[in-house]
Amino acid sequence: MKYRPIGRSSLKASVVTFGAMGIGGGFRYPDADDAVSVRAVRAALDRGINVIDTAPVYGFGHSEEVIGEAIRGRRDDVIVATKCGLWWGDDEGSYRFTWDGHAVKRNLSPRTIRIEVEESLRRLGTDRIDIYYTHNPAMPPFMTPIEDTIATLIELRDEGKILTIGASNCPPEDVETYLAHDAIEIVQRRYSLLARGVRDDILPLCASTGLSLHAYSPLANGLLTGAFTRSTPPARAGSRRDDPLFGDRFGAAMDLVEGLTAVASSLGTTPGALAIAYLLASSDAVNVICGIRRESHLDDIIAGAGLDIDASVTAVLDELAQDFEAAAPVTA
């Protein structure tokens, strides 16, 4: 396993992260099995993956509880990342969505952050959180000033309850504000061969300032694993229910997947492993979050972490991605 620093911090992270959204269960992952999830987490640790990424909203605390069970006795071997800001404790905040009967709001007020961090510490069974993200920026009508949010995070860092601050799904101007207060080491955004928007803004900013980019959905909800074909697309359910890659962009995406599969075959690897290696090759600032629900998911991910690709391979994959972007442009 290869390791890279998290921003300018002392944390040394495996280049791939265990993404724990799926182990939270709920309507998006109704077949989640806690025993299977615990085995998957422990197998990942045994194979060198030392970062686990979760959030309270993943199963409304259940993902954190499963992780707490899985890492018991191994806490010092793990970098735990969780989040705040998607709040369902009361009616305060800007309504975002309803999952499993919970009305979830965006709320980054000092009051709710304080509550959330204590609840996460309890569920995880730990005395500190290694990376603590704001899950999404504030949105109208409930707009906590970003400076108030940052001040609370710095207080929690000074108290030792969190070690490193991150921001998820935020625009570059928010990152600049965090940087101005010396209150960020890592940014989390979607990044894959089928979603390369971070190359235009966040990735260059991370590379120039020493921050890390935590890339989520690197396999595009499984599409880049090569598991699906044009004639056998997955059902649009769970995490794929609202994803346009499985709707009006599916045909163009499959053109890319078929090209990716051909390149992977020529290299003696899998499309999933190659898709991960492509992201890692794009910048030393990148760390890749891979959704893992069972031990069998680890093989492609470990292979991708160890796969070195040269500029000629990257160029071919860039061309495939550019063709996809031209055929299926993102619309507002």
Kindly state the tokens that stand for 118.
């204590």
- φ and ψ at residue 172, rounded to 5 degrees: -55, -35
CA 61 to chain centre: 17
Q: How many whole angstroms separate alpha carbon 32 and alpha carbon 330?
A: 32
Q: What is the DSSP letter of 235?
A: P
The helix/strand/coil state of 229 is coil
Residue 103 has a CB neighbour count (10 Å cut-off) of 14
Kindly state the tokens that stand for 95.
């309504």
Q: How many whole angstroms separate alpha carbon 199 and alpha carbon 124?
A: 34
For the chain, the C-alpha Rg in angstroms (whole number) is 19
92 and 105 in contact (C-beta within 8 Å)? yes
Q: Which of 238, 225, 176, 236 is nearest to 202 (CA)?
A: 176
Catalytic residue among 58, 132, 178, 191: 58
Give me the amino acid identity at 75: R
Q: How many whole angstroms separate alpha carbon 257 and alpha carbon 268?
A: 16
What's the N-to-C CA distance of the chain in angstroms?
A: 39
28 and 63 in contact (C-beta within 8 Å)? no
Kindly state the tokens that stand for 76.
């010092």
- Bridge-based pairing state of the strands 129-134 and 162-168: parallel
Is 178 considered catalytic here? no
- As to burial, measured by CB atoms within 10 angstroms (0-12 exposed, 13-18 middle, 19+ buried), residue 100 is middle
Cross-sheet strand order for the sheet of 86-87: 86-87, 102-106, 94-99
| Active-site amino acid positions | 58
